[in-house]
Structure 1
Amino acid sequence: MTMEYQSNNRRIVKNTLLLYMRMMFTMGISLFTSRVILNALGVEDYGIYNVIGGLVTMFTVISGSLSNAISRFLTIEIGLNNPQRINKVFSTGVNVHIVLAFIVLLLGELVGGWFLNSQMSIPSERIYAANWVLQFSLLSFCINLINVPYNAAIIAYEKMNVFAYIGIAEVIMKLVIAYLIYIALFDKLIYYSFLMFFVTIILRLIYGWYCNHKIQNCCYTFVYDSILIKEMSSFAGWGMLGTSAYMLNTQGVNMLINIYFGVIVNAARGVAVQVDAAIKQFVNSFTTAINPQITKSYAKGDYDYMLSLMCSSAKFSSYLMLFLAVPLVWESDMVLTLWLKKPPAGSSVFLRLLLLCTFVDNILANPLITAQLATGYMKKYQISVTIVGCLVFPLTWIAYSFGAPVETTYYLYAIVYFVLLFVRLYLIRHYIGFRIGEYINRVLIKILPVYILGFTLPLPIIFALNPSLIRLIITVLTSLICSCLIIFTIGLTCKERTLVKYKLMTIKKQL
């Protein structure tokens, strides 16, 4: 069993490195193209695209839960090494998503069209372009829906090299789009929406070809298994509750921001979301590699290894985020100015608060969510999580109604999801047999002093120097060195420090 653990750990390390190679390339190009797109479209059109994209994304309340269901069922069957069942789950997933795509398209045309033209705050001269954005965004979303089982199969089989190559191809195409938008002589917002739709079609063809020709048991065949559909639908149905809460708290709040503050504020939020998405991509490259092993460990009944992976995922994800979060929090204005030259007003405030929300909701909660999905026990968990999670939207609505500033929603989000973290711990402890105190000791108590010191040590530089490129460079270098030392001395266990020393000595000998 020790050899199996070592093999799994080596696979996790290999897949993590592949995903980080993908991430470094895609993140750099994505941030550059975002700058070009913002300058080409202008703040107003960028805000329109952001808010309409958010409107369409709200339909993931339907698709997100099914995506989790397919990923979970596929990974469980792969862990049990059941080839016929794998193909049945994959093909059933494709069928369900094709039907779902038509439903979303119909709802999007009816509900989305009505909301866009009667409720949203969009300048009258841009309504025509906004409707075209809605059409292309809906079509792109529906194609991505059909693509979900193919994406899930690649991750479940841990083909991270292919996942990385396709991601690189995607950002290269988006880089070409940025150039085409920059030189376009007609309505750039409509043209941009069309080109993004075209990229979606190309990616769909790539994913489909690879799964059908290169992954055994994931070649689509028409099947109808009412029992499997019922199992997946039940799993997805309860998952839909949690997904609806999250979408209401993010894209629903984006709609409230549009209604109360207008598209300019949506643009500022959109810029912050771009940077936050890059941070999530940086951190989730690690969790994407480790999540399949968490699910497979549950399928085999190896709960000790599963808990070890959960704690490692939360702890090391937190440390990875620290490297980027410290300079971004203290130097957000300078970073955004260097990136965009003239960022929308309020972008830096949004960015700082989004990083806080990401840490509470994404970094600490993701391993718990993966573990809960692996167990398949969804009813009690999703009802409880949804009741607590749904508080953000109504509280934000009430706050805005009384004239609260736009950033109030992020404080509410952080508080609600911090409470939700302990709700998740309380609910999941029965299914995999661990004590809440054990998780707190191995994760929260370890990372708390690391974060306090990591954010405190660069402060003398911030107070001593005026904002400038030189201060940014010094802050980045100082925070990187300090974070590494703090993580090594107080953030790792003795066993982990010994392993790090051994790896460093090995690298030194090879050099």
Structure 2
Amino acid sequence: MFFIMAVTLFTSRVVLNTLGVVDFGIYNVVGGVVAMMGILNGAMAVSTQRYLTFELGRGDMVRLKQVFSVCLTIFFLLSVIVVILAETIGLWFLHNEMVIPAERMTAANWVYQYSILACILSLVVNPFNATIIAHERMNVYAYVSILEVSLKLAVVYLLLVIPADRLSTYGLLILTSQAIVAFTYIVYCRHHFKETHYRFYWERPLFIELVSYSGWNLFGSVSSLVKGQGLNILLNMFFNPAVNAARGIAYQINSAITQFFTNFYTAVRPQITKYYAQGDMEDMLKLVFRSSKFSFYLIMLISMPIVIEAPYIVNLWLGQLPEYVVPFTRLIIVISAIDAMATPLMTAAHATGHIRLYQFSVGTMTILNLPISYVFLKLGGQPLTVFYVSLCISTICLFMRLWIVHRLMDFPVKRYIIQVFGSCVFICAVALIIPLTIHLLLRENFVNVMIVCLVCVLSTITTVYGLGLTKHERGLVVDILRKKILHKK
């Protein structure tokens, strides 16, 4: 993961320098338009993951194969819908509403078409990814991650040597790398999981159940899209592509950081659903509590040095310090940490299969990001305003999730607030004291920044271990270290 993060940050720097701020901003915002067309993808992906994991938890292999076949059929239908939407409404929006320099419109159109194909690929491969997660073959993601990193390096090299328009070339190279990764997942699944050998199967009640479940997930996907790409487009409407580029850089940094949480949570998610399917509520609640804390701690461990030393690190990384990148990065990381803490609550709600109240309540609150931000920007607000709004709404949504999960399964809300939310805030505050003090006392240079980063890591580890873990959890950590390190020696 550290290797992947390093390569991601390296390639981001080269791509920014090669494309330039304007083209980099265009690529990010055009991709956002396609993401809007692909909202059905996210909605159906969550449904597929839940139903495959649930059937696997019950041990019904025949039903598992039937669910997979119906899901893949639905994804084929969604691909057709996405193409129709993207080539009509999306294309009109690109040409009439986006702020793109006239001389770059041809390249933007090529990037748009490549992004549509990439969206179709992600649709088709979704049931296969869901199957890997349901079977908990997490090692597969490690190997494919190595492949993805290698492809990123290849893209950067080819971008520098191919004598063609770099923006459109970059779009084509990214599409090619995504196609290779998708093909790898599909081939692996067909060789290891019998249920992924697709044969057309139709069952109207199952189809309706999946689509109905996905309908509420669609509402949740729309809300997430509004928070992410919707705000990106809003920034483009009020400001220039350089602001979109700054946001894109900040999200790339955040993506590299949150990848640690994402991989950890990918392993946890199917276990929460399986515990519920088996009626083991005690172990499910323990896992929700622990995964909420550990998700926050993982992001805190990686991000604290970046948050404190962001100006120096970004300038060292990019060779320049674009406006808004530092404050964007800091705010986005804080928002991601709060969302990461809340994500296991979402999985607990999804495990029950009763998601209408959850998606309507949390989704509606999340959608408010767009109108509230629009009002502030219309009144003369600066780009940072949208992230302050997002931070406030993410915090509110955390407590809304707690209330909803309590209604679905008698969840111990008070204990969660004290043992998870309160503990995470307290640990973060304590861990910040020493590195922040050193940062304020030392002059900014490479050696001093490295000292602060090292102190951040040590402060986080010692504070989390000493104050953030229970006695039982500390015992688990010691056992893992003993098995993984001492045993190897």
TM-score range, shorter chain: over 0.9
- Number of the residue aligned with 1:386: 363
- 1:262-319 Cα offsets, whole Å, 9 max, x none, are 1011001100000001111011221111111001000001011001000110101111
Contact 2:296-2:338 at 8 Å conserved across structures:
no
Deviation at 1:380, TM superposition (A): 1.7
Aligned match of 2:436 = 459
Structure 2: state its 5+ residue gaps.
Answer: none
Decide whether the 8 Å contact of 1:454 with 1:486 is kept in 2: yes
For residue 497 of structure 1, report the CA deviation from its aligned partner.
2.3
How much has 1:125 moved relative to structure 2? 0.5
- Structure 2 distance, partners of 1:202, 1:503, is 35
* Residue 346 (structure 2) aligns with: 369
Is contact 2:75–2:124 with CA below 8 Å preserved after alignment? yes
Cα distance in 2 for residues equivalent to 1:442 and 1:220: 45
Local SS of the residue matching 2:196: coil
Between 313-322 and 453-462, report the one with greater CA deviation.
453-462
What does 1:93-112 align with in structure 2 at a 5 Å threshold?
93-112=71-90
User: 1:86–1:218: 8 Å Cα contact kept in structure 2?
Assistant: no
TM-score between both structures, scaled by the size of structure 1: 0.93
Q: Report the equivalent of 2:455.
A: 478
| 2:375 is equivalent to residue 398 of structure 1 | yes
Counterpart residue number, 2:250: 272
Residue 93 (structure 2) pairs with residue 115 (structure 1): yes
- Native 8 Å contact 2:37 2:90 kept in 1: no
Q: What fraction of aligned residue pairs are identical, expressed as a percent?
A: 38
Aligned in 2, Cα 1:57/1:461: closer, same or farther, shift over 3 Å? Answer: same
For 1:420, which of 384, 397, 400 is the aligned residue? Answer: 397
Distance in 1 between the 2:476 and 2:182 partners?
41
CA distance in 1, matches of 2:482, 2:116: 53
Query: Does the aligned pair in 2 maintain the 1:158–1:289 contact within 8 Å?
Result: yes
Are the equivalent residues in 2 in contact too, given 1:326–1:454 (CA < 8 A)?
no
Give the root-mean-square deviation of aligned CA atoms.
Answer: 1.4
Distance 1:503 1:410 in 2: 38
Q: 1:500 to 1:173 in 2, by over 3 A?
A: closer
Which residue pairs with 1:289 in the alignment?
267
- In the superposition, the TM-score normalised over structure 2's length comes to 0.97
Residue 382 of structure 1 deviates from its aligned partner by 1.4
The aligned counterpart of 1:339 is 317
Q: CA 1:500 to 1:174, structure 2 compared with 1: closer, same or farther past 3 Å?
A: closer
Does structure 1 residue 208 correspond to structure 2 residue 154? no
Structure 1 equivalent of residue 106 of structure 2: 128
Give yes or no for contact 1:258–1:266 (8 Å, CA) kept in 2: yes
- Work out the CA distance in 2 between the residues paired with 1:147 and 1:243: 18
Are 1:49 and 2:35 counterparts? no
Partner amino acid, structure 2, of 1:284: T
- d(CA) in 2 for partners of 1:302, 1:509: 32
Q: CA deviation at 1:424?
A: 0.8
Correspondences of 1:64-463 after superposition (within 5 Å): 64-361=42-339, 363-463=340-440
Gaps of 5+ in 1: 1-22
**How many pairs are equivalent?**
488
Offset from partner CA, 1:422-456 (integer Å, 9 cap, x none) = 11111111323322112112211221211001122
> Higher mean Cα deviation, 403-412 or 213-222?
213-222
Question: Do 1:36 and 1:182's aligned partners in 2 also have CA atoms closer than 8 Å?
Answer: no
**3-state SS in 1 of match to 2:244:** helix
Question: Residues 503 and 236 of structure 1: is their aligned pair in 2 closer, same or farther, counting only changes over 3 Å?
Answer: closer
Greater mean deviation of Cα atoms: 239-248 or 334-343:
334-343
Partners of 2:28 and 2:245 within 8 A in 1: yes
> Shift in Å at residue 159 of structure 1?
1.1
Question: Would the aligned equivalents of 2:243 and 2:324 in 1 still touch at CA under 8 Å?
Answer: yes
Counterpart among 466, 475, 487 of residue 489 in structure 1: 466
Range moving further from structure 2, 379-388 or 178-187? 379-388
CA distance in 2, matches of 1:498, 1:374: 29
Counterpart residue identity of residue 435, structure 1: P
- Kindly indicate whether the alpha-carbon contact (under 8 Å) linking 1:303 and 1:433 is maintained by their aligned counterparts in 2: no
Contact kept? 2:38, 2:82, Cα under 8 Å: no
